[in-house]
């Protein structure tokens, strides 16, 4: 199914230089699995990961802001080359402000993907606010775009393609594969 991009959405996507993601419910399906030793496991989508790498190669940075603290997330971020990692960020707006100040981004240059009420303070400020289809209603009411794919099942990749296509960078991003 093709995505219809309205004029306002295109205007919001064009200046994006940073994609910030929540983890549970966005980069994953929201499940947290513990083994018998109490070690946490999460499932990540490889196409989402490849999309993040494509985004980075196109010159757009990726960041993670999550309220939880997890070694699994630290390993995933390292694997994807995401250096902008904020864990244990209960007040995500503070992490967002810190990130913008340290990296020099303007709010209109940021896209944020979230799914729960803890994400609302950042969603309200980001240039492009995005959520997954099973996000809570309070989040859905405050975003510019709701993905067709669920969290952990291609939502991040969908957003990467949306950004790269709207910015005219998609053909270059896939050129080496064709």
Q: What is the pLDDT of residues 15-42, one digit of tens each?
A: 999 999 999 999 999 999 999 999 999 9
Angstrom CA distances, 89 to 38, 51, 153, 160, stand at 22, 25, 24, 24
- Chain centroid to Cα 163, Å, comes to 11
pTM: 0.95
Output the average pLDDT for the chain: 95
Residue 4 confidence (pLDDT) above 70: no
- Please tell us whether the domain made up of 16-173 is placed in CATH 3.40.50.620: no
Contact 131, 146 (CB under 8 A): yes
* Residue 2 in this model has a pLDDT that exceeds 80: no
The three-state secondary structure class of 85 is strand
Reply yes or no on whether the pLDDT at 49 is more than 70: yes
What are the structural domain ranges in the chain? Answer: 16-173
Residue by residue, DSSP assigns 105-146 as: --GGGEEEEE-SGGGHHHHTTSSEEEE-TTS-HHHHTT-SEE
């Amino acid at each position: 199914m093709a995505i219809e991009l309205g004029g306002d959405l295109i205007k919001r996507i064009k200046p994006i230089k940073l994609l910030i993601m929540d983890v549970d419910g966005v980069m994953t399906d929201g499940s947290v699995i513990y083994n018998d030793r109490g070690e946490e496991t999460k499932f990540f989508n490889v196409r989402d990961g490849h999309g993040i790498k494509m985004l980075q190669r196109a010159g757009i940075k990726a960041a993670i802001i999550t309220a939880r603290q997890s070694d699994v997330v630290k390993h995933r971020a390292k694997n994807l080359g995401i250096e902008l990692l904020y864990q244990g960020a209960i007040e995500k707006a503070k992490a967002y402000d810190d990130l913008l100040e340290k990296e020099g981004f303007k709010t209109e240059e940021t896209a944020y993907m979230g799914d729960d009420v803890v994400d609302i303070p950042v969603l309200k400020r980001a240039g492009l606010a995005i959520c997954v289809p099973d996000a809570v209603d309070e989040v859905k009411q405050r975003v510019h775009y709701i993905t067709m794919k669920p969290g952990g099942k291609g939502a991040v990749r969908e957003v990467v393609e949306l950004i790269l296509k709207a910015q005219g960078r998609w053909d270059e991003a896939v050129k080496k594969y064709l």
